[in-house]
Amino acid sequence: MTGKDPRAIIRMQDVTKFFGSFQALKGITTTINEGEFFSLLGPSGCGKTTLLRMIAGFDEPTDGAIYIGDEPMAGIPANQRPTNMVFQSYAIFPHLNVADNVGYGLKRKRMSRAEIAAEVEKSLAMVDLAGYGKRAAHELSGGQRQRVALARALVMRPKVVLLDEPLSALDKKLREQMQVELRQLQQSIGITFILVTHDQEEALIMSDRIAVMFEGQIEQVATPEQLYRHPVSRRVASFIGVMTLLDARATAQPGNTVRVDIPALGTVDLPAARVPEGIDLAKVEKIGVHPEMLTILQDEHETAERVVEAEVASRSYYGDMTYYSVLLPGANAPATISMRNTFGRSVIDPGAKVKVGWGQDSIILFK
């Protein structure tokens, strides 16, 4: 969704927050573009909600500045900001029906009843709840409450919609469905969404860009693919998906390449593009490998860039996939390998000796 010339809609400059002597945010500086689906991802307590609430205006930064569309937000209360929030608990007014909930914010604007009703209906249709206006709040299912909360925010035509873990209260199936729907809706209306989540899969599925936070700081801002393929640190990597860590040594080579020596796999030369900027090669002790970046070769004809001998220690069968724990020679802990159970492939029993294929692309170097 980011156009050729992405225009910043939100800018944060050294945003810091203290709760008493506890520092919840330690200098957040980042930019969110217009029309972007931006996620704040991080473990519990890292300050995601705190940051979102300061964008919404429920809290003021201790230090630093937040700009929305070039306007500094300091001192502007939540009810005067061009943002609307979808609360984690949805905060549906229990004493109002669906239409009155959605139209709540419009009553303040100079609009006739008929205009409000039309806007409400349009907004309900957008979230697939056309005709639900007369329903009482307590007659809604979890998914419907979530949609009402979204319609109530969208009807205000905000510059930015803020969502604090909006799907965490839904069951798995509904959550997956809503992830896709929410993403499609955001793309069709083109409003900037900022999503707070601690679910890495959700962030990967929905976002244009993701900011990964730890302990009040942003560690990496990247597209889902960049983030998954090139996490800058072990912390980020361990938070995004499953990853095996293997002992390694790295040394600079002439021609800007880096030689990585991994006892469990072998030695490989990585081109400059695969090496994170500002890395201190002397400090590299581990490299990371995603489960799908190793493969178990099953017959003679299958080949790979590089091959090592290994032994299957255990397996977890998921139907479409099997996750193997494999003992690589010289490694002190098993590596995880995921295999699709596609045609021509059988599930391998623990104890079997196998050939494991890997390549230069399998290796992830961290800062």
Ligand X SMILES: Nc1ncnc2c1ncn2[C@@H]1O[C@H](COP(=O)(O)OP(=O)(O)OP(=O)(O)O)[C@@H](O)[C@H]1O
Binding footprint of ligand X on the chain (CB under 6 A) = 19, 22, 24, 42, 44-50, 198
With binding defined as CB under 5 A, does residue 49 bind Mg ion? yes
Q: How far apart are the first and last CA of the chain?
A: 30
Cβ proximity of 73 and 81 under 8 Å: yes
- Out of ligand X, Mg ion, another protein, none, what residue 46 binds, judged by CB under 5 to 8 A for its kind, is ligand X
E-strand stretches of the chain: 8-19, 22-33, 37-41, 63-68, 71-72, 83-86, 160-164, 192-197, 209-214, 217-222, 244-247, 249-252, 258-262, 266-270, 286-289, 295-297, 306-317, 321-327, 335-340, 353-358
**Which of 133/334 has CB closer to another protein?**
133
- Out of another protein, ligand X, Mg ion, none, what residue 50 binds, judged by CB under 5 to 8 A for its kind, is ligand X
Q: Which residues bind another protein (CB under 8 A)?
A: 56, 58, 77-80, 83-85, 87-89, 91, 93-96, 104-105, 108-109, 136-138, 152-153, 156
Q: How far is the CB of 51 from another protein (least distance, A)?
A: 16
- Out of ligand X, Mg ion, another protein, none, what residue 315 binds, judged by CB under 5 to 8 A for its kind, is none
- Out of another protein, ligand X, Mg ion, none, what residue 301 binds, judged by CB under 5 to 8 A for its kind, is none
- Out of ligand X, Mg ion, another protein, none, what residue 343 binds, judged by CB under 5 to 8 A for its kind, is none
Q: What is the rounded CA–CA span in Å between residue 348 and residue 324?
A: 9
Angstrom CA distances, 311 to 86, 117, 293, 333, 359, stand at 49, 67, 17, 12, 19
Structure-block tokens of residue 37: 């689906």
**Which of 197/244 has CB closer to ligand X?**
197
Cβ proximity of 308 and 352 under 8 Å: no
**Which of 220/295 has CB closer to ligand X?**
220
Identify the CA nearest to 127 among candidates 160, 101, 97, 154: 154
Q: How far is the CB of 196 from Mg ion (least distance, A)?
A: 6
**Which of 49/207 has CB closer to Mg ion?**
49
- Out of Mg ion, ligand X, another protein, none, what residue 265 binds, judged by CB under 5 to 8 A for its kind, is none
Strand partners, 310: 354
Q: How far is the CB of 86 from another protein (least distance, A)?
A: 9
Q: How far is the CB of 87 from ligand X (least distance, A)?
A: 12
Other Cβ atoms less than 10 A from the Cβ of 92: the count is 19
Q: How far is the CB of 158 from ligand X (least distance, A)?
A: 21
Q: What is the rounded CA–CA span in Å between residue 14 and residue 17?
A: 10
Q: How far is the CB of 49 from Mg ion (least distance, A)?
A: 3
